Amino acid sequence: MIDENWQAYLQDRHNADLEDLLDFIRIPSVSARPDHMPEVRRAAGWVVNRMKIAGISDAEILETDAHPVVFGSWMSAGPGKPTVMIYGHFDVQPAEPFDLWTTPPFEPEVRDGRVYGRGATDDKGNMLAPILAVEAMLKTTGSLPVNVKFLFEGQEEIGSPDMPKFVERYADRLACDMIFSADGLQWAPDQPQLVEALKGIIAFEIILRGPKSDQHSGLHGGGIANPAMGLAQLLASMKSLDGVVTIDGFYDDVIALTDDDRSEIARVPYDETAYLAESGATETFGEPNYSTRERLWARPTLDVNGLTSGWQGDGGKTVLPAEARAKLTCRLVAAQQPGKILDAIRAHVVKHCPTGLSAEVRRNSSWGDPFSVPPGHVSTEIAAEVLELVYGKKPFRTRLGGSISVMTTLQKATGVHATMFGFAHADENLHAPDEFYRVEAFERAKLAYGLLLERVAKAYSLLVYMSAA
């Protein structure tokens, strides 16, 4: 039986919950900036305090070598009750360029049913929602139908570099029966989705060095190797003109798409005109013999994220640069291993480094294995049932090209497959100016998490009954 008192409590708290979210967003918890470390810690303290107000008294900050983690739990559901763990993150992306924001990124406001501010949708609105759902249940019924643990990190936006060690250290405290991630997307405001796979990621930098300092291009051009030209040649050697990665061994562990896989992907509506309009590109591009959706969701990629060399100021300066740098990422699919791919990249760079230059491949912080949930997994099916209740429609079954590296870390440590259960939308300017979160999505997220805990309790009661029969 569903207790509706907590739902009425959420409705009554609508304005207060919105004010809490605005207060949370005001903290500039940018994990990529060393000078913002105190703000990331302040955000952690805010989360602990809000959890305690909600009735989750066992909430605390746990340290890592970098940004902190917040852990909380409510474990009084009674004997034999399952334990659900909810994951999210309170760090945010840098907000620059500030001049492209309609209003300052850390002075949030509500306009036209949207909360604008850095971190509104990624991930502060989403991670606050389950706390508020739990609060509604505890304030109205004094209890929860299941045990609940919360794991909120402050370093997701820099690739969760300390989370593997953290999860290993606190594995006993993280033990649970189900994991749900509040960091995730719905398909559209009126259409839910269940994301059943994410890509892994490696981030790295290639540095080519030549002369000891920038040189006069008239005195030395044509006499010594140019690192900028050499880098262009090296990058061109890594990918064919039609988008196929040409690094030896890059595709070795990729599991080929089956006919069923391709049918499932094709079942999700795709509007190429709308897709191109979203990015501003004029045409699609990528590996031959795969649809755009297949390339986005189920094929590995290699992309240049940034290039630096020589004179970057206004006007011209006739130099032959001393070095050239490129920052790149690879997005990986199931069975690919980040370490093995980086080794293949290093071997390629050594083999193709132009004469007269030295090369270095430097690993950056973003690093994580691909993530997937087995078809028909119990937590995924419970989530599907809840989404259908909340939206009135069955969810699409999808994959995403993005990465949340901690998902596989948690899966390995707990032996539990995580289910994505976030309520952001791809059009909400994640990582971009004018990031926003729909107020409607915030309300749906709170309702969905309350229903989710009730459905988990119901499912486990049924399993216990069937096993005893």
* Model confidence pLDDT, tens digit, residues 387-427: 999 999 999 999 999 888 888 999 999 999 999 999 999 99
Q: Is the model's pLDDT at 228 over the cut of 90?
A: yes
pLDDT in tens, 431-463: 999 999 999 999 999 999 999 999 999 998 866
Q: Is the model's pLDDT at 259 over the cut of 90?
A: yes
Assigned token pair, 100: 């492209």
Residue with tokens 């505890």: 138
pLDDT in tens, 201-223: 999 999 999 999 999 999 999 99
pLDDT in tens, 292-304: 999 999 999 999 9
Rounded to the nearest 5°, which phi and psi values hold at 136?
A: -60, -40
* Rounded CA separation 118/428 (Å): 11
Say if CB 115 and CB 122 are below 8 A apart.
no
Residue with tokens 């000891």: 212
pLDDT band at 464 (very low <50, low <70, confident <90, very high): low
pLDDT band at 152 (very low <50, low <70, confident <90, very high): very high
Amino acid at 187: W
Rounded to the nearest 5°, which phi and psi values hold at 311?
A: -80, 125
Amino acid at 43: A
pLDDT band at 469 (very low <50, low <70, confident <90, very high): very low
Q: Which of 171, 123, 150 is nearest to 60 (CA)?
A: 150
Residue with tokens 């049913």: 113
Q: Is the model's pLDDT at 466 over the cut of 80?
A: no
Say if CB 463 and CB 438 are below 8 A apart.
no
Give Rg (Cα) of the chain.
Answer: 24
Say if CB 29 and CB 155 are below 8 A apart.
no
SS3 state of residue 27: coil
Q: What percent of the chain has pLDDT over 90?
A: 92
pLDDT for residue 278? 85
Rounded to an integer, the average pLDDT of 127-131 is: 99
| 234 to 220, 331, 386: CA distances (angstroms) | 21, 20, 50
What are the residue boundaries of the structural domains of the chain, listed by start?
Answer: 5-198+370-468, 200-254+300-368
* Rounded CA separation 60/153 (Å): 12
**pTM recorded for the entire structure:** 0.86
Rounded to the nearest 5°, which phi and psi values hold at 342?
A: -65, -35
pLDDT for residue 402? 87
pLDDT for residue 463? 63
Rounded to an integer, the average pLDDT of 23-43 is: 98
pLDDT in tens, 308-357: 999 999 999 999 999 999 999 999 999 999 999 999 999 999 999 999 99
Lowest mean pLDDT among 30-34, 121-125, 251-255, 366-370: 366-370
Q: Is the model's pLDDT at 2 over the cut of 90?
A: no
Tell me the fold of 5-198+370-468. Answer: Aminopeptidase (3.40.630)
pLDDT for residue 465? 45
Q: Is the model's pLDDT at 375 over the cut of 90?
A: no
Q: What is the mean pLDDT of the chain?
A: 95
Chain mean position to CA 60:
23
**CATH code, 200-254+300-368:** 3.30.70.360
**DSSP letter for each residue of 407-450:** HHHHHHHHS--EEE---EETTS-TTSTT-EEEHHHHHHHHHHHH
* Rounded CA separation 122/428 (Å): 9
pLDDT for residue 149? 99
* Rounded CA separation 51/149 (Å): 11
* Rounded CA separation 108/23 (Å): 8
Number of CB atoms found within 10 A of residue 443's CB? 18
pLDDT for residue 1? 40
pLDDT for residue 60? 99
Rounded to an integer, the average pLDDT of 149-172 is: 95
Who contacts 103 (Cβ-Cβ below 8 Å, separation ≥6)?
A: 109, 116
Domains 5-198+370-468 and 200-254+300-368 in one fold: no
* Rounded CA separation 71/152 (Å): 6
